[in-house]
Chains A and B, each alone.
Chain A
């Protein structure tokens, strides 16, 4: 079945450092890919998405490119802030039985120190 594998955490960086969180996927067909962010005690918020190969999703300084050849969707940000501390989830859409259910990676906890 479809699956998502994320870089293991936790990840700790200093403010203004460069961030990469790796995400690879296994899927039949051409799923859409997503990054969600979960702040402490809250639900998930969609951070960015890409719906086809070579698409680049971007939001709030974060970006990720849908790479079909390497089945990857790595999340990057050039200069992180303390407020970026959260858990980040990579996900793909799995349209089984007509449902747009999401398949999630295990999450990567990010902590940014001032």
Chain B
């Protein structure tokens, strides 16, 4: 059973460009969570999604950030018009429907130049 997959692993964008991060959950997992890790800090929750639904986006910045988890395909975290402060590691986690345990992907390290 493959683990949570994220791509790309490293992404470089210039200020003002768009960043698109992908997450494929583990097989059989329908719950996806996105977290952001700023340098030398812990992970901060951003958004929780189930298939085709955003359940909790209380940690998402109000502007430029959006997330989706379509019926088919990976979950996507989109950052429009990136700024230097968006440079961070973005981790995706997935879980089955009825446990607390979340399985994390390897992360996407976004660098904004």
Of A51, A93, A98, A104, the contact of B43 (CB 8 Å cutoff): A104
Question: Residue B56 contacts which of A36, A93, A97, A102 (CB distance < 8 angstroms)?
Answer: A97
Asked if A98 contacts B45 (CB within 8 A), the reply is no
Asked whether, in the complex, the Cβ of B91 is within 8 Å of the Cβ of A43, the reply is yes
Total residues of chain A contacting the partner, CB 8 A:
26
Q: Is the pair A102, B101 in contact by a Cβ cutoff of 8 Å?
A: no
| B43 and A43 contacting across the interface, CB-CB below 8 Å | no
B-contact 0/1 string along A32-64, CB 8 Å cutoff: 100010000111111001010000000000000
Q: Nearest chain-B residue to A36 (Cβ)? A: B104
B55: contacting residue among A43, A49, A98, CB under 8 A: A98
Q: Complex Cα distance A112/B102, Å?
A: 28
By a beta-carbon cutoff of 8 Å, the part of chain A in contact with chain B is 4, 32, 36, 41-46, 49, 51, 89, 93-94, 96-107
